[in-house]
Structure 1
């Protein structure tokens, strides 16, 4: 079995934290366009970005993506 990264959960986590994409951008230093790309699954986050965002959202890095098992 292998774990792989599924869909980004950032939209859900932002709503849960009552935080806007713009606020996340200000707090992390990532551009609003970059945040939007992650929220809309246009590109995956780097390890550093995921660590920073998890810290700001007070969650685990693993929470940022659905994890999928493949045979």
Structure 2
């Protein structure tokens, strides 16, 4: 799955540090989620989606392999 977090965060106008504080994580954790190195637990995903004014489904997109 590919993260859309960077795009959604830029669109929101919030700073990443602010977002991390609001949902109770470290900026490093948020960076890992943005880079798809790890994924948010469901409770944090809902908080993040609410803050970014989107649905949880919008946070990531499924990557498809081209054949």
- State how many pairs are aligned: 65
CA apart distance, 1:50: 0.7
Distance 2:60 2:35 in 1: 12
Larger relative strand fraction = 1
Unmatched tracts of structure 2, length 5 or more: none
Structure scoring higher RCO (CA < 8 A, sep ≥ 6) equals 1
Q: TM-score, normalised by structure 2?
A: 0.84
Distance 2:19 2:29 in 1: 11
Q: Which runs of 4+ in 1 moved over 6 A?
A: none
* Aligned twin of 2:6: 11
Distance 2:28 2:4 in 1: 17
Q: TM-score, normalised by structure 1?
A: 0.80
